[in-house]
Amino acid sequence: MDEQEIIARYFGSHARQRKDVVLGIGDDAAITSLAPGHDLVTATDCLVEGTHFLPGCPARSVGHRALAVNLSDLAAMGAEPLWFTLALSLPSADERWLEQFSSGLLDLANGFRIALIGGDTVRGPLSASVTVLGQVPGGGGVRRGAASAGDGVWVTGTPGDAVAGRLAPEDLSGLPVENSPEEASTPAGRKAAVEYLRARFLYPAPRVQAGLALAGLASSMIDVSDGLHVDIQRLLGPRGAVLDAGALPLSPALRACRAGDAIRYALTGGDDYELCFTVPAGREPEVVGLRERLDVPLTRIGHVTDSSGVGWLLDGQNLEVPDAGFRHF
């Protein structure tokens, strides 16, 4: 298979037609039209074999994650994702791998009704770079570093699951994205809990709906990729926070499988792709109202302080948390 055949077979036939795609795959570049009065929001993330995923990682998961991590970045800006491009470097044209990679990628894209509008396909070490393009109403992007003292600090979902799933030894590839855990006291229950944790690592669910709902409400927002503790510091910039580790939303599966490590995983594990955000005190009831219509937990874990430094308490005692999130260099 040559480059043109790979594009045509696995990516060029991505049928999702959006009215705002003037020209999609097949020409020298794509043309799209942005809604009037909106700002363009762009994010790129590169997944490299050996750095971001291990050799032998299910290709479906690599395809899913390559797009999911970018959708998570757009969610953290409060943006609506619209289009994406894919730069793929492959050691060989492995049809089975391409089939699974493209279905992981395009199933997620179809779920959010976004269109693959172009890319590049080259021979080389295995890597996948995705760029997602989206929009916010003019001036409406939610940034880091804009929280005020007294704002509540909130998090979506249940951080810590992904690292537990990454470290789980069982080979449980090809699982559904969200697989709720059963009571983990029986062998079957434990297997279901481990499968749930593995799926949380292999198939993260980007919090796009939550990000959109929080635009205009959150004073600042970030997505948690390197670990909650380091990412909260990036979120707050010059400010600090007092946070309650006892308030952390831990999944039943994480509690069941890794009770002793659960809080440490939630604070320093990474790969969560949950949103962490701040909300002015007077508007926190609106976040509580959102819980009804979003299918993801929203949990308040503390508040922003004027002085720098992010401090964690557990049962009223100070909890030492290392700054060691995931570091690339």
What is d(CA 206, CA 236) in angstroms, rounded to the nearest whole number?
22
Q: In this structure, what is the dihedral angle of CA atoms 185, 190, 192, 197, given to the nearest 10 degrees? A: 120
CB nearer Mg ion, residue 87 or residue 177? 87
Measured from the CB of residue 60, what is the shortest distance to ligand ADP in angstroms?
Answer: 16
Concatenated DSSP letters for 88-118?
Answer: EEESS--HHHHHHHHHHHHHHHHHTT-EEEE
What is d(CA 59, CA 97) in angstroms, rounded to the nearest whole number?
6
76 makes contact, choosing from Mg ion, ligand ADP, none, with CB < 5 to 8 Å by partner type, with none
Measured from the CB of residue 26, what is the shortest distance to Mg ion in angstroms?
Answer: 12
Site string for ligand ADP, 108-147 (x = CB under 6 A): --------x-xxxx--------------------------
196 makes contact, choosing from Mg ion, ligand ADP, none, with CB < 5 to 8 Å by partner type, with none
What is d(CA 276, CA 236) in angstroms, rounded to the nearest whole number?
10
Site string for ligand ADP, 179-208 (x = CB under 6 A): ------------------------------
What is d(CA 67, CA 118) in angstroms, rounded to the nearest whole number?
14
Site string for Mg ion, 113-152 (x = CB under 5 A): -------x--------------------------------
7 makes contact, choosing from ligand ADP, Mg ion, none, with CB < 5 to 8 Å by partner type, with ligand ADP
Note the Cα 266 to chain centre separation in Å: 15
Measured from the CB of residue 221, what is the shortest distance to ligand ADP in angstroms?
Answer: 29
Measured from the CB of residue 120, what is the shortest distance to Mg ion in angstroms?
Answer: 4
Considering only the stretches 24-32, 65-73, 148-156, 299-307, report the one whose residues sit in contact with ligand ADP under the rule CB under 6 A: 24-32
Measured from the CB of residue 7, what is the shortest distance to ligand ADP in angstroms?
Answer: 5
Question: Who's near 187: CB < 8 A, 6+ residues apart?
Answer: none
Lay out the sheet containing 317-319: strands in order across. 220-224, 274-279, 152-156, 298-305, 240-244, 309-314, 317-319
What is d(CA 262, CA 268) in angstroms, rounded to the nearest whole number?
10
Site string for ligand ADP, 203-232 (x = CB under 6 A): ------------------------------
Measured from the CB of residue 94, what is the shortest distance to ligand ADP in angstroms?
Answer: 14
230-251 burial, b for 16+ CB within 10 Å, e for fewer? bbbbebbeebbbebbbeebbbb
- Give the one residue of 28, 292, 295, 320 binding ligand ADP; rule: CB under 6 A: 28
At residue 266, φ and ψ (nearest 5 deg) are -65, -35
Site string for ligand ADP, 77-96 (x = CB under 6 A): ---------x-x--------
28 makes contact, choosing from ligand ADP, Mg ion, none, with CB < 5 to 8 Å by partner type, with ligand ADP
What is d(CA 11, CA 5) in angstroms, rounded to the nearest whole number?
10
Q: From 31, 21, 23, 11, select the one nearest 121 (Cα to Cα).
A: 11
Considering only the stretches 21-29, 43-51, 194-202, 296-304, report the one whose residues sit in contact with ligand ADP under the rule CB under 6 A: 21-29
Q: What share of the chain is helix, strand, coil (3-state, %, to 5)?
A: 35, 25, 40
Q: In this structure, what is the dihedral angle of CA atoms 107, 108, 110, 114, given to the nearest 10 degrees? A: -140
- Using rule CB under 5 A, residue 4 touches Mg ion: no
119 makes contact, choosing from ligand ADP, Mg ion, none, with CB < 5 to 8 Å by partner type, with ligand ADP
CA max distance for the chain: 62
Q: Which residues bind Mg ion (CB under 5 A)?
A: 120
Q: Which residues bind ligand ADP (CB under 6 A)?
A: 7, 11, 25-28, 86, 88, 116, 118-121
